[in-house]
Amino acid sequence: MSTLETASEVVIRFAGDSGDGMQTVGDQFTRTTALFGNDLATFPDYPAEIRAPAGTRAGVSGFQLQFASHDIFTPGDLSDVLVAMNPAALITNLKSVKRGGLVVVNTDRWTSRDLEKAGLASDPLTDGTVDDYHVVKVQIGNLTRGAVAPHGVGAKDADRCKNFFALGMMYWLYSRQMEPTEAWVASRFKSPYKEANIAALQAGWSYADTAELFHHRIEVPRAEDLPTGRYRNIMGNNAMAIGLVAAANKLGLPLFYGTYPITPASDILHHLAPFKNYGVTTFQAEDEIAGICAAIGASYGGAIGVTGTSGPGLALKGEALGLAVMTELPLVLIDVQRAGPSTGMPTKVEQADLLQAMYGRNGEAPVPVLAPATPSDCFAIAVEAVRIATTYMVPVIVLSDAYVANGAEPWKLPDLESFDLAPVTFRTDPEGFRAYARDEDTLARPWVVPGTPGMEHRIGGLEKENITGNISYDPENHELMCKLRREKVQRVANSLPPTTVYGDEEGVVVLGWGSTFGVIRTAVDACRADGRKVAHVHVRHLNPLPNDLATILRRYDKVLVPEINLGQLVRLIRAEYLIDAIPYNKIQGQPFRTDEVMARIEALFA
């Protein structure tokens, strides 16, 4: 009889073909774990191809999850357990498993043909490849077919249920409840597929229980150190969508989202589409340029205009973004970054669009640039983007990325009253109206809804005359307007809160942005536990940078800047502050691991 052991944290990874449902079971394990009360972080890792050749390394889809009884910030470096549905899944993911870790393999997909498709000259189960791991061999496909046979599904459909059999085994091993997944299956599938998937899930649990596959069961207690409140599990793109809706509703304005589908930003459109009853209009345009132009038109008409894309689309939207700068209209542009250039690796993570966001337009066209740190932070950053856009009458770029957008974590539902959104006032009084007269503090020009009596004014891409908004080719006026538009962006910094410094006041400071937050925080905690004087500063406002950032960074002997690019923020820091910041770059389509950042920090003390 298996014994029950307690663990403070566990990392589990599911891997198989793109059609094996690894993202589905990963999502279900995540959902069940969130309902139980663990803290968690996830890392979906899947190919860009809609369906790569089955059984090949190119077609492997993975889902990694870390869950814990304490506060965590990453999906973990190495897995405690790997569920591999075929040889290709095993060989591509084995390097991500701890030595001595558990490897569960589906031996029904282990023929010589399967080994050949995986590019293997020998069987890794017998040639010594897995000697350092605890391997459990299970005929998952055959057992699944037997479990679902009473429900009358065909052989092909029965094979599609094997992911739930694997999930059932993991639910038994980690003492998870099956009821949430059973309810989800019942709501998602029709008979007989509903009954077949539930039967496969229960059969996996029962097989692990009766066959004594594992030496012991493991239980990770619920996290008790999280702040009290109401939580839900959320992914970054979903949080971004909800944040946009919440901000627009708090301002009492309609929200318009104009976009063209592109991985990994498309889910924002999917999540916004059901919110029609909250004044949301979603528009799938024929191309990237049409998407942003429609959003600019919506802003001109008095709505919160938003457009979303990834790196290639940001390049296409550049000219229209310059139009929004010239017309000084509020606009939010969300760039969910991915590995480039060109099509690059569409489902892999990268932070290489920062310099494009800063400078990727013709002429002097500065815009505020923000970046969320975690999946749940996407909500707050969306609200902040709307605040800046409407307060300063300026387009705003939000730099999310694939890691943040597709990752999930528990999100404590916020108090909307805590978000400072100044009410929007449309100009309606024609007395003394000038289209480019400016607010004394923000330099924002008036927002006028077209058709307001007596408020006719020119708008367009040609340079405007200061105050009047008339077309102007005057050299001095052009220079003045460029400086005013730049100063308006710089004044955003006056509304930012003090920069948070986590850790020590001297020694080494690790400066990060975007999705590097979790791994930097975890590495800094580990180094401080070893007695190193290390701090973490994470920048969510990249343009303008916070007013106090230079003073903070100059307190430290060394400034380390890890980025998933070849060095972009580090260039800005060096240029802006003349600080000899040290780059640490990784550009492999994968996030940093904690041990990598720790090693680089330790090297600075050597």
Cis peptide before 475 (omega within 30 of 0): no
pLDDT recorded at residue 2? 67
Distance between CA atoms of 601 and 510, rounded to whole angstroms?
A: 8
Write the CATH number for 257: 3.40.50.970
Q: Residue 226 domain-assigned?
A: no
- β pairing state of 134-138 and 395-401: unpaired
Tell me: pLDDT of 401 over 60: yes
Distance between CA atoms of 317 and 84, rounded to whole angstroms?
A: 41
Same domain flag for 67 and 112: yes
Q: Residue 198 domain-assigned?
A: yes
pLDDT recorded at residue 415? 87
Q: Say if residues 222 and 37 touch (Cβ distance below 8 Å).
A: yes
Task: Specify the pTM.
Answer: 0.95
Same domain flag for 588 and 566: yes
**198, 219, 240 — which closes off a domain?**
219
Q: Say if residues 6 and 219 touch (Cβ distance below 8 Å).
A: yes
Q: How confident is the model at residue 1 (pLDDT cuts 50, 70, 90)?
A: low
Distance between CA atoms of 292 and 297, rounded to whole angstroms?
A: 9
**418, 451, 484 — which closes off a domain?**
418
Could you give the angle at which helices 193-210 and 140-148 cross, rounded to 10 degrees? 130
Residue 156 CB: number of other CB atoms within 10 A?
Answer: 7
pLDDT recorded at residue 458? 85
Residue 533 CB: number of other CB atoms within 10 A?
Answer: 16
Same domain flag for 323 and 414: yes
**369, 390, 418 — which closes off a domain?**
418
- Distance, C-alpha 266 to centroid of its chain: 12
- Mapping DSSP onto H, E and C, the string for 274-322 reads HHHHHCEEEEECCCHHHHHHHHHHHHHCCCEEEEEECHHHHHHCHHHHH
pLDDT in tens, 290-340: 999 999 999 999 999 999 999 999 999 999 999 999 999 999 999 999 999
Same domain flag for 66 and 209: yes
Tell me: pLDDT of 50 over 80: no
Q: Residue 18 domain-assigned?
A: yes
Distance between CA atoms of 162 and 177, rounded to whole angstroms?
A: 19
Q: Residue 162 domain-assigned?
A: yes
Q: Say if residues 126 and 136 touch (Cβ distance below 8 Å).
A: no
pLDDT recorded at residue 213? 83
Q: Residue 475 domain-assigned?
A: no
Distance between CA atoms of 503 and 599, rounded to whole angstroms?
A: 18
Same domain flag for 114 and 29: yes
Distances (CA, A) of 306 to 259, 317, 378, 401, 416: 8, 12, 15, 17, 20
Q: Say if residues 125 and 110 touch (Cβ distance below 8 Å).
A: yes
**Which residue in this structure is represented by tokens 């102007």?**
472
Same domain flag for 213 and 239: no
Same domain flag for 242 and 367: yes
Same domain flag for 316 and 212: no
Tell me: pLDDT of 198 over 60: yes
Half-sphere exposure of 110 toward its Cβ, with a 13 Å CA cutoff?
A: 20
Same domain flag for 175 and 296: no
Q: Residue 448 domain-assigned?
A: no
- Distance, C-alpha 59 to centroid of its chain: 22
Q: Say if residues 165 and 140 touch (Cβ distance below 8 Å).
A: yes
- Mapping DSSP onto H, E and C, the string for 433-463 reads CCCECCCCCCCCCCCCCCCCCCCCCCCCCCC
Same domain flag for 16 and 111: yes
Q: Which long-range contacts (CB under 8 A, 24 or more apart) does 221-229 make?
A: 221/6, 221/69, 222/36, 222/37, 222/38, 222/69, 223/37, 223/38, 223/39, 223/68, 223/69, 223/70, 223/71, 224/69, 225/70, 225/71, 226/39, 226/71, 226/410, 226/412, 227/412, 229/412, 229/413
Question: Which letter, b or e, does each residue of 276-286 get, where b requires 16 or more Cβ atoms within 10 Å of its Cβ?
Answer: eeebbbbbebe
Same domain flag for 157 and 182: yes
> H-type helices in 435-568, by residue range?
475-490, 517-529, 549-553
For 525, the domain range is 502-605
pLDDT recorded at residue 147? 96
pLDDT in tens, 161-196: 999 999 999 999 999 999 999 999 999 999 999 999
For residue 427 the two structure tokens come to 């100009």
Nearest CA to 494 out of 391, 381, 386 is that of 391
**Across residues 204-228, what is the average pLDDT?**
90
Q: Say if residues 329 and 297 touch (Cβ distance below 8 Å).
A: no
pLDDT recorded at residue 422? 86
E strand or H helix that includes residue 14 = strand 9-17
Cβ neighbourhood burial of 98 (10 Å; 0-12, 13-18, 19+): middle
Same domain flag for 380 and 508: no
Q: Residue 430 domain-assigned?
A: no
Q: Count up the domains in the chain and report the number.
A: 3
Half-sphere exposure of 98 toward its Cβ, with a 13 Å CA cutoff?
A: 12
- Distance, C-alpha 27 to centroid of its chain: 15
Distance between CA atoms of 554 and 351, rounded to whole angstroms?
A: 25
pLDDT in tens, 577-604: 999 999 999 999 999 999 999 999 999 9
pLDDT recorded at residue 49? 78
Q: Say if residues 519 and 73 touch (Cβ distance below 8 Å).
A: yes
pLDDT recorded at residue 269? 98
**Across residues 417-433, what is the average pLDDT?**
91
Residue 359 CB: number of other CB atoms within 10 A?
Answer: 11
Write the CATH number for 181: 3.40.920.10
Tell me: pLDDT of 22 over 80: yes
Nearest CA to 25 out of 151, 142, 191, 176 is that of 176
128: left (phi over 0), alpha (psi -120 to 50) or beta: left
Which residues are 332's β-sheet partners? 306, 396
240: left (phi over 0), alpha (psi -120 to 50) or beta: alpha
Q: Residue 452 domain-assigned?
A: no
Q: Say if residues 341 and 355 touch (Cβ distance below 8 Å).
A: no
